[in-house]
Structure 1
Amino acid sequence: MLVIGDDLTGSNATGARFARAGLRTVSVSGIERVPCAQGADVVVLNLGTRQYPAGRARELVREAVGAVTPVDLIAKRVDTTLRGNVGAEVDALLGVLEPGTRALVVPAFPDAGRTTVGGLHLVDGVPLAETSAARDPLTPVRASRVATILRQGTELPIAELPLDVVESGVDVLAGRLADTDAPLVVCDATTNAHLGTIAEAAAKVQQQWGTRWVSVDSGPFAVQLTAALGIGPGVHELPPVLAVVASITGTTQEQVLELEQMLRARFVDVALDGLDARVVADRVAAQLRPGVRVVGIRTSPPAPGERIDPATAERIPRVLAEAVSILLAEHRFGGLYATGGDMAEATTAALASDGFAIDAEVLPLAVAGRLVGGPHDGLPFATKGGLIGGRDAALACVEHLISVSAQRERGTAQ
């Protein structure tokens, strides 16, 4: 795919997200350097047009489209505060792509405090026109409504899909996307889950009605859309990461939810009275299918006020570790992630591993490396304490494993 950016820093940040998703990504500045990216899954082309006159920005965008061919998806990377020639560059793209191509404008970047509600773009809850972006000395943003900002560079019809439609789910949203024929569609979003819903709906519309999309966003949505469309050499063949979560803390639950929202992880919930390793392994195996990048096991928390029997608490890691051993013996995985010190220790013991070769600290107290010894010697492995990190801590660990797995599959691992 091709990502067209207007600023080097933002372009590289978006490229890093694709790299973490396991795609070989090369970032270049200037159309003349595109040949350097030969063989990449994702070419991130920075045009540096944010402060250019609109006419010149249009010319460069049109040239960029022909610089990388063929591509399955084009993403127009825009600033998180929508500075620059946003409307003009999207207009230029639609003017040279095949008739019927539409722009899906999803500028929300929830992890950075950028959200879109009622068509208004917000920074930490403050309308864009009331933030420092409005006072930028070179590219001030005078409006908060996304459609108004786009209108400064295009006369094409613009549709807006509000948050309640997005929250209605993939099917409802896909229907609304299909019902409108506006070339530009702005979607509200306040969470990563919303980005995933929009991506799945757009993929459904493309599959059923043949609509071709251009992603217009600040980075995270394009990655979600790429995954939903199944784009990237080997994306379906890459072995999934197996995650095992024994911790039942609120922190861990939020981190697992982030894995589900961002990577569409499929977890099997194990009740405390259902600790049977063979049954658990079979349930996880049933989740394995092409395109699934993460499958996992997690312990169901006890009911409010219910206390866990100490013997049961001690047994949980051992049973889940035994299930992991069964799964690794019967199926192919690209990496293993374990949350909680007891879980990590029980897992390495169940796998008859002699140790753990540490390659990197993904974040404080979260490390990644490879198992040493035993039948799974060299398997990429990451572990983290149950109370460690913010909401995206588990995501960072699993994305690291996906990236390492992709490198190993291509024969480019260190």
Structure 2
Amino acid sequence: MDFATMLSRHPGARAADPAAIAEAVRRSGRVLIVLDDDPTGTQSVADLPVLSRWGVDDLGWALDTGAAAVYVLTNTRSHDAETAARINREVVEAAVAAADTRGMPVAFVSRGDSTLRGHFPLEPEVISATLRSLGRAAPSATIVVPAFPDAGRVTVGGVHGMVDGGAFTPIGETEFARDSTFGYRESRLADWVQEKTAGEVAAESVVEITLDTLRAGGIVVADALLAAPDGAVVVVDAVEEDDLRQLALGLEIAESDGRSYVYRVGPPFVRARIGLSPRPALATAPETTRTDLAVGGLVVVGSHVGLTSRQLHDLTLRRPDAVVVELDVPSILDPARAGSVLDDAVSRIVGALDATDVIVYSSRTLIRTDDPDESLAISRAVSDALVEVVQRTVRARPPRFVIAKGGITSSDIATRGLGIDRAMVRGSLFPGIVSLWEPVAGPAAGIPYVVFAGNVGGDTTLTEAVAKLAARKAL
């Protein structure tokens, strides 16, 4: 389907000043608490705090930074529904407690995947139910905005899909829709909501805010929001940043009229919602004062989507100086062999880091099962192995930098492999994608950490990311 032809049926984008949105947010005093189901949600923002723990003290630290949004890394996409629900409840309860002691109003964002994978409708439903249990008013509606234009994921006429080379592919026709844990069929968001709610929310009841409404301006958007029935699911088109900004303007008007919302969104929504302008891509990582780091950096690849495998192939081809360590997945899943496999991997990595960069990855043959829970358990076992390798490597020889490829992988490496509890997001290595964190304490303090989603970039982007960090090494 030709994307230009699709867009020709709609008005052109309507510009919106992010500074005006930022000022409205500042006047409201509202802070967004972003429950990020894997750490790749931070790739569109900069200079915001991110937490991997959600105690009241942790949320208090983040709120005290004065940021308009706080990210809480829940990693729920790697957990079963029961665990995901528990984590969501805990975060909301802690955030409300921390905010109440400071007299701060907060709103909640459930950050999901721009390719529609994850625990929906569970997570926004749990957020709403927890707020009610705490005596707060239930959100007026659930706003669903999966678009991620920087990565080619857009929604037009209520249909979500991917743009590549001028062609639009409905998301239900991509490999992501065949995900063994979070698969689906529908591309029209209203139909997807009906599918994911098992018919509890009929497609006909879903409110659609299309490009035509967005591009008529924030007041028209607000009218559409205010007309939505209480408790509705509202799905929103977006092709450009200004579409998201017009939505933000409409939301500000609706919220000033007493409405409140819980959001299920892709990565760039928060940037637009708080009036944060896109930052130039980082040329390299900040300098560190640590003097004990190795010469080489560590690249950890766990994602198995086709794009990641192509990126890994390009990296190993174009960086022949790097040491490559493959973790054989069948061996990892075999208790009799797993220990020796991990011992050998750690020995090779530690031995190589004082001379060059090291690439460690799980073998590319994906072990499939028809049982979603079993598939998730296999993913967890592979991630656990990568975490153990990183833990032991950092204790023996801290690398110059760490890049983690894949959503579950990057979360587990951050929280368990590197022990990152609190960090600041410093920006992106490429426009709107691939986030760089600065850990503020713990064993990883001073080690640049790059969160690289499995499903973003081109075939050479991982190689380019390593080159940026290697350039820092040569300074």
TM-score by length of structure 1 reads 0.49
Higher relative contact order (CA 8 A, sep 6+): 2
TM-score by length of structure 2 reads 0.43
